[in-house]
Amino acid sequence: MTDPDQDALGRGGALRPALARYVRHLADRGLSDNTLLAYQRDLERYVAFLESIGRRAPDEIAGQDVEGFVDAVRSGSDGRRPLSESSAARLVAAVRGWHRFLARDGITVDDAAREVRTPSLPRRLPKAMTVEDVDRLLDAAGHGEGPVPARDRALLELLYSTGARISEVVGLDLVDVDRRARHAAVRLAVGSGKQRMTPLGTKALEALDGYLSDARPVLATGAPDADRVALFLNSRGARLSRQSAWAVLRAAAHRAGLPDADGISPHTLRHSFATHMLAGGADVRVVQELLGHASVSTTQLYATARDEALRAAYAAAHPHAR
C-alpha cells in the first residue's frame, strides 16, 4: 500500500509540505516546543531563500543552492539580519538535518547538503579565576551562622578541589565520598555507567567533615526517604538541585564582590581548577583524566589559555618585548 502523504509529496513535491512533514517528524521524536519553533524558524528562512531563486520542490535543490544560502545568512544578502558564525552554524545544521530526512524518506534522490560543511567556530579559551578570587569566593560562601553556610562552603570547596561538573556534584551520595586520611576522594558518575575517582584536597575535606558532622544532620531532619542518601541537601532535606547550586555560587560571588559576579558559573570553577593545576606543573594528561575529558585536545585549551596569559605578561613587562 502506498503512503498518501508520500504520493502527495513525491519527487517534485512542494517545499512547504516537505518542511511540514519534517517538523512533524521532529515532534514525534519528542523535541520540546521551543526547539521545534527554532528549527521551523531557521528552515522557513531557508525555504524563503529557495523560493526566491526559483526552487519550488525538494528535488530541484542543488548543493550550490545550499552554499548560496550559507553565504546569504552570513552576509544578510537574503534581506534579513546577517547571522553570527555560531547562529549560522546552528542554521546550517538544521538544513543538513532536513536534507538527510528528505533523502532517507525518498522525497529526494540525493542529499543536496551532504558536501556542505557546518561553519567552523573559533574555540573560545576558557575563563579562569585567580587563586585569590577563588579564596574570596569560598570564604564568602561560608560566611554566616547555621547549617546552610557550612553546606555552601563544602559544596564550592568540592567543586574547586575536584574540577567536577555541577551535575556530578549534586548527584553525589554519601557512599561516593571516601574521607580516609591520605585516601580522600569522591566517586563521580560521568554517564553511560562510567565513573571516575577524583582526589579531595585538604581544604575540601575539612569543609566536608564540618558539613557532615554538624550541618547535614540538621538539614536532613524530615528528609524524604529517597533523598536521605544524597550528599548535599537543601533546607527542606531534599537533594540540592543544579539550579540551587548555581544560586549558591552566584550569591557567594556577589558577597565576595568579585568582578563580573553574574558571569561566574560552576564551570568557571572547573576552568579554574584545570588552569591552576597546569600552572602548578601538572601534566595535561593527568588533568584530562581528572576532568573526565574524552579527548586531550579539550584539556589542551587550558594550556593554551595559560600560554596566552604568559605571552601577555611577557609583552607587558619585558623591556625588549615592545
CB neighbourhood size of 193 (10 A): 6
- Exactly one of 21, 270, 271, 276 is catalytic; name it: 270
Rounded to 10 degrees, the C-alpha dihedral 50/56/58/64 comes to -40
CA distance linking residue 15 with residue 50, whole number of Å: 9
Edge to edge, the sheet with strand 194-199 lists 177-178, 185-191, 194-199
Q: Which long-range contacts (CB under 8 A, 24 or more apart) does 267-271 make?
A: 267/165, 267/166, 268/127, 268/128, 268/129, 269/129, 269/134, 269/156, 269/159, 269/160, 269/163, 270/159, 270/163, 270/164, 270/165, 271/126, 271/127, 271/128, 271/129, 271/302
Does 270 qualify as catalytic in the annotation?
yes
Location of C-alpha cell 567533615: 209
- Exactly one of 151, 153, 165, 276 is catalytic; name it: 165
| Per-residue buried b or exposed e for 31-47, using 16+ beta carbons within 10 Å of the residue's own CB | eeeeeeeebbebbebbb
- Exactly one of 22, 46, 211, 302 is catalytic; name it: 302
Does 276 qualify as catalytic in the annotation?
no
For CA atoms 242, 248, 254, 258, give the dihedral sign: negative
Does 293 qualify as catalytic in the annotation?
yes
Lookup: cell for 117: 560543511
- Exactly one of 104, 117, 183, 267 is catalytic; name it: 267
Does 165 qualify as catalytic in the annotation?
yes
What is the identity of the amino acid at 98? W
CA distance linking residue 208 with residue 203, whole number of Å: 9
> Could you give the maximum distance between any two Cα atoms of the chain, in Å?
82
Active site residues: 165, 267, 270, 293, 302
